Amino acid sequence: MDGSQQVKVATVWRVLGALVAVGVALGSAWAAPLIEPAGFMGPPALFEAPPALLEVPPALLEVPPALLEVPPALLEVPPALLTAPRPGGAALAGGGAGAAWEAWEEEGGPVREAQRKAAGQAALVAAADVKKRAYTLEGEAREEGLLQAAAAYADVADREDLRPSERAEAAFRAGEILRARKALDSARERFAQAMELGQGNEADAFAARGLLELAHMKRRDDDTQGALALYGELRTRFPAQRKSCAQAMTWAGKLQLREGSREEGLVLLIQFGKQFDEFPVDAVKNVDVAALDCLDVGEFDRARRLIDDLRERMQPVLEQVEGKDAERLRKALADMKAPPLLDARLLDDAM
């Protein structure tokens, strides 16, 4: 053991000794009042610690300067952070690290984002409560209550301090109530707001539903081309929203049949089941509509092929689905209007 190591070992022992001595001194001071009345008096040296043991070497109280220095690399913001997308906004671009962090804080980091989400969900619940209370009323009181609910949802939709996803849902809910109350212009504004706020975030489904409602409103206004354009836009813009896309394809097919674009409409209705096999009940209903159209123009063989092909495709599906899904599919097949009409017409032709 060299000289420096011996010094270190000696220093450690001295510190330990000092700690022990302090403990003894404190213990004796505490115990003295209890012991002295009993007549016990020990030698004073027993309760005293040597001064040398109570001294802590100054070197142990000093913090090496190197430990107080923060490496410059830890104070720098990684470039990737400055170009990463922020929640609800663009990348942290320009202004250096300080400006980037300031912008991130203003728009909300993880904590702020969680707070915005909680606030938005609470606001949605409050608006939903207004709607529920309205449905407990009757007559004009109910209508007035529902308008108040629409206003409550609209207030949530217009709050810029909330996340776009909760605002989009609120806008859609407001649009639903307003449409049912025949306030169509206001309903359109809210559905359009839901579409713009919700696209690309957690409310993507409400964005798609908002666009679907806008298409339905054009269809009800007999704006065929406008409706078809929006149905097509929905399928292009929101391909992941399968349910809304399926409805858009169905209505586009029916609308084209009604307006005379027969073959285009038949293709949409017949191909529906292949593109959206997760909706077999809708596939059955769409083929039924197509087969009825064929019967109307005397295309009996084509109608029979459509029906037979549908039944063949639905047989393995019936073997896979269970419970209520199986019941709905069997009911849809049993309720088809085209098969009995086809049989009746073929019977009339044979007589």
- Tokens linked to 209: 């539903």
Give the integer Cα–Cα distance in Å for 142 and 245.
33
Angle between the 110-134 and 139-157 helix axes, to the nearest 10 degrees? 170
pLDDT in tens, 150-172: 999 999 999 999 999 999 999 99
pLDDT recorded at residue 112: 87
Count of beta carbons in the 10 Å neighbourhood of residue 112: 14
Task: Spell out the per-residue pLDDT of the chain, length 351, in tens.
Answer: 555 555 444 554 454 555 555 454 445 544 444 444 444 444 445 445 555 545 556 555 454 555 445 455 444 544 444 344 444 444 444 445 456 556 555 555 788 889 999 999 999 999 999 999 999 999 999 999 999 999 999 999 999 999 999 999 999 999 999 999 999 999 999 999 999 999 999 999 999 999 999 999 999 999 999 999 999 999 999 999 999 999 999 999 999 999 889 999 999 999 999 999 999 999 999 999 999 999 999 999 999 999 999 999 999 999 999 999 999 999 999 999 999 999 988 766 655
- Tokens linked to 320: 């896979």
Q: What is the DSSP string of 165-228?
A: HHHHHHHHHHHHHHHHTT-HHHHHHHHHHHHHHHTTSTTHHHHHHHHHHHHHHHHHTT-HHHHH
Sign (positive or negative) of CA dihedral 309, 313, 314, 319: positive
pLDDT recorded at residue 4: 52
With 0.85 as the threshold, say if the pTM is over it: no
pLDDT recorded at residue 345: 80
pLDDT in tens, 89-104: 444 444 454 565 565 5
Sign (positive or negative) of CA dihedral 17, 19, 20, 26: positive
Cβ within 8 Å of residue 213, ≥6 positions away:
172, 175, 176, 179, 187, 191
pLDDT in tens, 279-289: 999 999 999 99
Of 199, 204, 146, the C-alpha closest to 173 is: 146
